[in-house]
Amino acid sequence: MNPETKIENDACKLIYDKLGVISSKLKVPGQTGFPDRLFWLPGGKPLLIEFKQPGEDPEPKQLHVHKQLRQLGYTVMVCDNKLSALQVVVNELVKTTEHWHKKKLQVLAMAQEYINKRR
């Protein structure tokens, strides 16, 4: 197993064990440059992570695809160790949880208003 694959596998296991977040290996037939993993966060918007060995940077094609994905509104991160990947997922979970908590409160308030108007 190459070092990059080991980092990826260790990170995915750690993230699942500590946070319960599942991930999928991203393979796009006939295309290159896509991040290695999709992490399925609450709220329906996956986090994409490219894994690299320490000190390595993404290839130009990867940087181009990452830029395209970011322009579409996706979060794309590059991690070179399992702890940085765990931190990225924690940070995104905090953002997602705050967003969905606010959204849930808005939906609940609208539902309550609807109920109150019909009483």
The CATH number of whichever domain residue 79 belongs to comes to 3.40.1350.10
Grouping H, G, I as helix, E, B as strand and the rest as coil, residue 32 is coil
C-alpha distances in Å from residue 13, one per residue of 2, 10, 21, 36, 112: 17, 5, 9, 15, 41
| Tokens representing residue 89 in the block | 């997922």
| Residue found under tokens 């996956």 | 46
pLDDT reading at 37 higher than 80: yes
pLDDT tens sequence across 62-119 = 999 999 999 999 999 999 999 999 999 999 988 887 776 777 778 778 878 887 888 6
Pair of tokens at residue 14: 């750690």
Q: Are strands 75-79 and 47-51 parallel, antiparallel or unpaired?
A: parallel
Number of domains in the chain: 1
Residue 103: domain span: 3-117
pTM of the model: 0.82
Chain segment 96-106, per-residue pLDDT in tens: 877 767 777 78
CA distances (Å), 80 to each of 46, 86, 113, in order? 19, 11, 49
Under DSSP, the state recorded for 16 is: H
